[in-house]
Amino acid sequence: MIHGLEHPFREDQDLSGAQNIVTLERFVEEVINQGRYEAADELVEENFVELDPLPGQRQGREGLKDVIRMIRTAFPDIHWVVEETIASEDKVVSRFKWTGTHRGEFLGIPATGRTITVPGVVIDRLSGGKMADSRILMDTLAMMQQLGVIPTPGGPA
């Protein structure tokens, strides 16, 4: 019991999943949403591996910081929201949605001024309380349609 309330975890329960969720919540808020790249040094292993990297993305913690800088430059008002999280042992699966206004070049696409919303899922593996590798799957077709790069079905050609 904590302060007279029943504790939601059994005493013998492994809390690493819950701790890993806290690490990822900090990463999303501090690094992605606030642009505090130095926080990644505390939250991400130096030899971090992006299993499905963006074109040109370098591996390692510095490569991850570079890609987030690139996205934040293109979408300076980016706001990332985790809508659902499942943790098991060293892995955390998060369903997310991010929004942002396209104000700078992104993957060779000049700024459009359009506000987009991009859903996706990311599977992160943590080791020693830090992000070790990640696989992110975003709805890039919808993203490109919202940016006006690819026509939407039934829309103008």
Residue 127 has pLDDT above 80, yes or no: yes
Contacts (Cβ under 8 Å, ≥6 apart) of 66: 57, 58
* Mean pLDDT across 118-131: 96
Output the pLDDT for position 46: 97
Is 57 domain-assigned? yes
Is 7 domain-assigned? no
78-121 pLDDT, tens digit per residue, is 999 999 999 998 999 999 999 999 999 999 999 999 999 999 99
Name the strands in the sheet holding 115-127, side by side, starting at the edge strand that comes first in the sequence. 44-50, 130-138, 115-127, 91-101, 79-88
pTM: 0.85
| Number of separate domains in the chain | 1
Label the pairing between strands 130-138 and 44-50.
Answer: parallel
Contact 114, 148 (CB under 8 A): yes
| Pick from 58, 111, 101, 51: nearest CA to 78 | 101
Output the pLDDT for position 17: 81
Q: Which of 3-12, 34-43, 69-78, 120-129 has the lowest mean pLDDT?
A: 3-12
* Mean pLDDT across 31-44: 97
Output the pLDDT for position 21: 93
Is 6 domain-assigned? no
88 CB neighbour count, 10 Å cutoff: 11
Q: What is the domain-level CATH number for residue 55?
A: 3.10.450.50
Is 2 domain-assigned? no
Q: Which pLDDT band, with edges at 50, 70 and 90, does 154 fall under?
A: confident
Is 155 domain-assigned? no
Is 111 domain-assigned? yes
Is 8 domain-assigned? no
44-57 pLDDT, tens digit per residue, is 999 999 999 988 89
Is 88 domain-assigned? yes
Range(s) of the domain holding residue 64: 16-147
Output the pLDDT for position 152: 84
